[in-house]
Chain A
Amino acid sequence: MELQKTFISWPVIKQLTSSDHLARGRSSQSKRSATLIPRTNTADKIVQSVCPYCAVGCGQTVYVKDNKVTQIEGDKNSPISRGRLCPKGSATEQLVNSPNRQIKVLYRKPFGTEWEPIDLEQATEMVAQRIVETRARTWQDKDEQGRVLNRTMGIAGLGGATLDNEENYLIKKLLMSIGAVQIENQARI
């Protein structure tokens, strides 16, 4: 029985017994081709998202398998984009899975000539210290006319247009509390 099954599946037999006489169709289909399914079908999670490039706000569908993004494509439900994406939006999977993406914190000491590895927690702690020190050094209680300033002009920020609203909210809130006013983003540029 097994023998016959094997035999029947031989291309040459398929060629002769089917209408695919020239063996250019069904009889040439490999087992892999016959069982091919799109990787979107095997995703264990499908997540709705939004394209991170420009501000049109195209819908994206993100397919995840084993905690790895396997595909990002246009969300057909979106009344903005109807499933379509531009080349940048279409490259989003590569943005996420980019092999040259930096995933480690790096540190360059003053006058240093190379990057050095550094622990994330330690680096965050150092930045907190720098902020506190700079703030203390550059604090302005009042101006020359005695009017309240309550600020530091020693700390500046740039960024926000690529970030989430919730992130901008926390950034603004934190920097307001430390008295840093020079917070800016691409909207000015």
Chain B
Amino acid sequence: MNMHQRILRLLRQKNLVIGGSFVAIIVLMAIFAPLIAPFDPVSDADLMRSEMRPDGTFIFGTDTHGRDVFSRVVYGARISLSVGLITQIINTFIGVSLGLLAGYWGGKTDDMIMGLTNIMLSIPVVVFALAIMASLGPGLINLYIALGLTNWSYSCRITRAQVLSAKKADYVKAAHSLGYGHIRIMFGQIMPNILGPVLVITTLGAAEAILLEAALSFLGLGAQPPTPSWGGMLSSARNQFFTAPWLSIFPGLAIFVTVLALNLFGDGLRDILDPRNKAKNVGSKPK
């Protein structure tokens, strides 16, 4: 292997390393927000220092109400990450359960679930989330629900495929004839197989959910002021954009970095977990 390819390989792993470290930093930022943020994100308002440019005290400047933008961005990580986490837990739970049901029972149950999955895939995620928001009304909790219900088709399909192949495996039949519970055996076979793909799906799904939360909050449908959500901050800063651009630049940058980190991390995970990619890199002999 020459130098060039050595660097390439490092870079490939760097996806995971760089993405992972940024995700870790953002997670720590969210957990230790009270220690990091110099001001309270909501109550430390002072109209006397409204819309001040970034300086030594307020490194990201202040907003219209005189609140410290940096502190609000730090606290905003809590909302974005919780959106990523909660929606993906709901999505994975729905997807894996439906996939298990469809694969295990087959027949009409399978047809129904797969029909539903296909219809879900034919409705763009944003549109589906908007439909739920239209029904439930604006608000952060509703947003969790909306995003949690929209993006489970992929984990459903993968789980179903794994159940079907596990069902065919001879040793499952054999174990069954020995009186072992079918479900217990299949779980032993299925879980390790879907863990990798589901991990990749949830990481990339979290990135997508955070982006969507920001977009919907920007539309005014998500967290309502004064909650410090990045999308919400951008939404309230719309009218001050030309006069106080720092109000828009920093929350936007925070979203961008978070989503980028998750995407890099997810890509890196996929490179490691996908056997097809692995085979490509090992330089196996051609047929």
A, B from the same assembly? no
